[in-house]
């Protein structure tokens, strides 16, 4: 993997993701998102990557969910992609910035209508007394927006992890894995090889 040390880590990530898209049986864009709440308690969950470019790694959520509240209280996060089919992993650490309203609108408008309705119906991360309550809320939202476009809810947007660290891990025989770590510094990226 020494050849990747001279490359742009975002380009390396995009190449690895392209390989995973060809081989992973389900959700190659799935990533573990780790956040920390205002009291210092960490929390991790799987979310889907919805965009990656030189600015960072974007995903979308309800701002009032636990992850949304964590990201507002402490705007830092870590990501982990694990692609078992190609025996690779990428870790990302960095600060958080909100996506623009135009970006959030564009992604929301690209979603299936049922997912748009679900964004309105779900009080994500809050207690739910029964599945029937959720289904009734979905039906009410469907009726409200019958024969019209579903607008983006005001509490639904996206966040971008702005990477300060990106680590590439490749499986090796006898647990002698390859690890290359990129660190963002003023003026660009530095790299180092890590012990397995």
Q: Give the domain CATH number at 83.
A: 2.30.110.10
Give kind and range of the element (H or E) at residue 150. none
Q: How far is CA 117 from CA 14, 83, 106, 146, 150, in A?
A: 31, 31, 16, 11, 7
- Structural domain including 52 reads 2-111+154-193
Residue 147 domain-assigned (yes or no):
no
Cα distance from N-terminal residue to C-terminal residue, the chain = 13
Number of structural domains in the chain:
1
Residue 148 domain-assigned (yes or no):
no
Residue 146 domain-assigned (yes or no):
no
Residue 138 domain-assigned (yes or no):
no
The pTM for the full model equals 0.94
Average pLDDT for residues 162-172, to the nearest whole number? Answer: 97
Residue 69 domain-assigned (yes or no):
yes
Percent of the chain clearing pLDDT 90 (strictly above)? 91
Supply the pLDDT for residue 2. Answer: 76
Interval 32-81: pLDDT, tens: 999 999 999 999 999 999 999 999 999 999 999 999 999 999 999 999 99
Nearest to 71 by CA among 81, 56, 61, 80: 61
Residue 68 domain-assigned (yes or no):
yes
């Amino acid at each position: 993997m020494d050849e990747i040390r001279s490359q742009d880590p975002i380009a390396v990530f995009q190449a690895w993701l392209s390989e995973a898209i060809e081989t992973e049986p389900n959700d190659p864009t799935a990533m573990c998102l780790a956040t920390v709440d205002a009291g210092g308690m960490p929390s991790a969950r799987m979310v889907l990557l919805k965009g990656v470019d030189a600015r960072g790694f974007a995903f979308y959520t309800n701002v009032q969910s636990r992850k949304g509240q964590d990201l507002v209280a402490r705007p830092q996060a870590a990501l982990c992609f694990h692609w078992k089919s190609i025996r690779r992993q990428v870790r990302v650490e960095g600060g958080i910035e909100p996506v623009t309203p135009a970006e959030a609108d564009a992604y929301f408008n690209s979603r299936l209508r049922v997912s748009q309705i679900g964004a309105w119906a779900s009080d994500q991360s809050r207690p739910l007394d029964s599945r029937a309550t959720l289904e009734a809320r979905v039906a009410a939202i469907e009726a409200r927006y019958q024969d019209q476009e579903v607008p983006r809810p005001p509490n639904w947007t996206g966040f971008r992890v702005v990477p300060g660290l990106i680590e590439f891990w490749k499986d090796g025989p006898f647990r002698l894995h390859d690890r290359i770590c990129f660190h963002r510094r003023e003026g660009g990226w530095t790299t180092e090889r890590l012990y397995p």
